[in-house]
Amino acid sequence: MLCVLISIIGFIFLFLYDCSQIWKAKNLILLFSVMGYAAVAASFILLLFLYPVKRYPAWVSIGSLSAAAVNVCLLFFSQFPALLSGGENGEGGPRTCSRRGAYGVVRHPGFWWFFFMIGFLNIAFRQTEVLEISCVLVLINLLFVILEDTVIFPKLFSDYTDYRKGVPFLIPRLVWRLKADAASE
């Protein structure tokens, strides 16, 4: 339960990070983002200490933990460029949505990196308590993403309404995307 509480605190800080971008409170943006991501990371570190990884054949443990680490990297590289950009386009104008890479497939790719990271950690831990905690964390993340999509991002990005029309929320339209890419070539 402590892991869930720490993650909830982390998501509250991430919400405040989003709000501080809207309010253009530059001195709070870095503070809230670091505190939010640190709290969520701390909850997973605590999880490692509270629930030891089950004994598996080495290839299963190494494979599942490696796959979780890959998803952490994907999460890091999809979230932190926006964090480090300072919240504005290079010209200092209104902030616009990126439609490149994973953000051209779904509006919230970080949700999936978080989901798969937790899934692979569950393969490594193989404990009911960890599965229960994981389900709560995925639900909290989903609620946070819905809040961002409906309340925060329309205020933060000048073109978010158009972005929402062209890019699906969480479920990619890969067939549609492949046809659109082929037609543009």
pLDDT along the chain (185 residues), means of 10: 92 94 88 93 88 77 90 85 50 73 87 94 86 92 95 92 90 64 58
State residue 60's pLDDT score: 83
> What is the C-alpha separation between 50 and 5, in angstroms, rounded?
14
Determine the pLDDT at residue 130. Answer: 87
* Tokens 């504005």 sit on residue: 88
Handedness of CA 105, 111, 117, 118 (dihedral sign): negative
pLDDT for the residue numbered 88: 47
* Residue 111: per-residue pLDDT: 94
Residue-range domain boundaries for the chain: 53-184
Using CA atoms, how far apart are residues 28 and 17, in angstroms rounded to an integer? 7
Q: What is the pLDDT of residue 14?
A: 94
